[in-house]
Amino acid sequence: MTDAPIAPRRPTSRTHHGDTVDDPYEWLREKESPEVIAHLEAENAHTDAATAHLSSLRERLFQEIKGRVQETDLSVPTRRGDWWYYSRTEEGAQYGIHCRAAAAPDDWTPPVLEPGVAVPGEVVLLDGNAEAEGHEFFSLGAFDTTDDSSLLLWSTDFEGDEVYTVHVRDLSTGATLDDEIPGTASAFFTPDGTSILYTTRDDAWRPDTLWLHRLGTPVSEDVSLFHEADEKFWLGAGITRSRRYLVIGVGSSITSEEYLVDLTGDLTAAPQLVWPREEGVEYSVDHAVVAGEDRLFILHNRDALDFELVSVAAAAPTGESHVVVPHVAGRRLLGMDAFRDFATLEYRSEGLERIGLLDYSSDAVDELAFDEPLYSAGVSGNPEWHSPYLRIGYTSFVTPGTVYDLDLATRELLLRKRATVLGGYEPADYGQQRAWATAPDGTKVPISLVWKRSFGTPGAAVRPVQLYGYGSYEHSIDPGFSVARLSALDRGVIFAVAHVRGGGEMGRQWYEEGKLLHKKNTFTDFVACARHLIDAGVTSPDQMVAEGGSAGGLLMGAVANLAPELFAGILAGVPFVDALTSILDPSLPLTVVEWDEWGNPLHDADVYAYMKSYTPYENVRDGVEYPRILAVTSLNDTRVLYVEPAKWVARLREAGASDVLLKCEMVAGHGGVSGRYNSWRERAFELAWLLDTLGLAD
């Protein structure tokens, strides 16, 4: 095995608020430097050598994942206009193939498509495998058709940096038009099909400008419709399902503002402001026609921590409002989707996602019921303004991804498809339950547990545990099925999720108590969950591995410093472990927009001191016995730069950590490698390391 690479220490320092910090590994930030590339390649070579004994296990895990997946498969068709749209995969192919087939008039029941059976009248719109040919990385961004179904728009990224090039195809002739638009973030057609609306990013990777491109004209003549100058705010745009309004939204982590453009008029007209931005107030807008009047439905948190839903006249959005769904503490309203005759309301209560149907005439909300105690459900794939069915996606820790259509007349859930898991998978062979840990401040923190029943109920005997956490941006880790996870469960591992503060599982207050100057709650909650599992006899420190990615990677680095004795290993994916350095530099991608989440250490001495007290890189402890650590990153990641884990690993080795590995994908982005087989191999690599750390590599 090769020796671990030792990064040279080079004098570098920074001073803020009278505090000078030595940062001897900052030179690793020079991405174009041959020396940096050579160091990353040396790290990869060391990781390859250190894990060479796991090669056969990696191959077995890959084959297990592959063997459980129905490789030739199709999605449930979704009706839009006169066509059924769906995607399919073929055995041996990395990427999906996007297709459509003609729909009969008034036929809203999706055709049942059989894997490997030719679909009558199929039109291939885009073959991702053909698009990816000749490229190590491929990501499909935008995908849209005109309302008259004559043109296709799609965008591609071949680097992993989330910068997309837009292309347009005439579906009647198959010809690709000259309307190629580079450097985009998002893109879609206008309803009349004559133009493209797209967004671009500034130098800090922040979407900041909305453009109008008229088909057949040079990109140089494109018109800027809206520009957001404030560096704390990102920009997004979309069209209401009613096809009446273009909605332009700008927002930070805590504040939002939206504008409307009436699509029956001039697209270049000045957008109509809905509500002026107010620090700390978030809102979103949708449109419906109620009793013959154009109404805007506004979901907001003004004096309503967990949000309320109101409606206003579209002609006077700042005028008198009607409360449709009032604020209820602990019931976090997440989103509202307007349809012609009703709306859907998605919300979170008691830690679970809920779906309700809103009656426009009575404001009554009819909640849909599901059988499992832990599940995830959401409204998805409903492009039509009016349909007799509502498409719903459903899953749980033990139920594979499921597609239902809700019959709106009978309220019956019609099963359209449940993902096939090959190899004799039986949901009843696996259990799921919720436990509760107690944080240092007395807060009860939920833990979800998943296990294979043949190994016994958690707590009956000490077992290996994979403890996962995230805890930032109000993002919730909801119950969800994983084919790859079965390889660990079938070897006796219990999968656990620590639903720590900073996430959104228990409402907006849960998020507020895990951000800014309360961020340490995220870390101490996770440690409390680990201690609970040990104290309850579920596991032991030598049989527990912690895992998290991105901001969850920050969590991993923090708990490694706080409680290294509790874990046998820590798996950190694209980890945000040099957070203070990044948040101090407004020239780095996305830094300024992050200040609402973490605080502004550049201008606030208290925030600076608080962040410095927890960020993993600054708080590596000399002479401490760290658990085994695997950090996985990507060279082209624009969200968490590769340099963060590279510096962290160098510092850990300097401090004496004996088993620390860095794996850097040299052609990939924040989501890792592209292509399903590549992704399965990447996960097999991580799982092999995890199982080896738990003593289950045989």
Q: Quote the Cα angle for 109-172-132, to 5°.
A: 85
- For 311-320, what is each residue's pLDDT tens digit? 999 999 999 9
- pLDDT band at 587; cut points 50, 70, 90: confident
Active-site hit among 550, 582, 634, 674: 550
What would the pLDDT profile of 648-694 be if each residue is shown by its tens digit? 999 999 999 999 999 999 987 777 778 899 999 999 999 999 999 99
pLDDT value at residue 680: 95
CA–CA distance, 312 with 81 (Å, rounded to integer):
30
Chain mean pLDDT for the chain: 96
b/e 577-612 (16+ beta carbons within 10 angstroms → b):
bbbbbbbbeeebbebbbbbbbbbbbbeeeebbebbb
Mean pLDDT of 308-331: 97
Which pLDDT band, with edges at 50, 70 and 90, does 639 fall under? confident
Q: 670 catalytic, yes or no?
A: yes
449: left (phi over 0), alpha (psi -120 to 50) or beta: beta
- Is residue 637 part of the annotated active site? The answer reads yes
Structure confidence at residue 79 as a pLDDT band (50, 70, 90)? very high
Task: Please say whether the beta carbons of 377 and 391 come within 8 A.
Answer: no
CB-CB contact of 557 with 577 (8 Å) = yes
Model confidence pLDDT, tens digit, residues 527-565: 999 999 999 999 999 999 999 999 999 999 999 999 999
Confidence band, pLDDT 50/70/90 cuts, at residue 584: very high
- Spot the catalytic one: 46, 287, 499, 670: 670
| Its pTM surpasses 0.75 | yes
Q: Which of 73, 157, 208, 637 is catalytic?
A: 637
Edge-first strand order for the sheet with 181-189 is: 139-145, 151-157, 164-170, 181-189, 195-201, 207-214, 223-227
Query: Would you say residue 76 has pLDDT above 80?
Result: yes
pLDDT score, position 638: 80
For residue 103, pLDDT beyond 80: yes
pLDDT at residue 392 tops 60: yes
- 1 pLDDT exceeds 80? no
Q: Which residues pair with 288 in a beta bridge?
A: 295
Closest CA to 548 of 580, 526, 529, 581: 526
Query: Does the active-site annotation cover 242?
Result: no
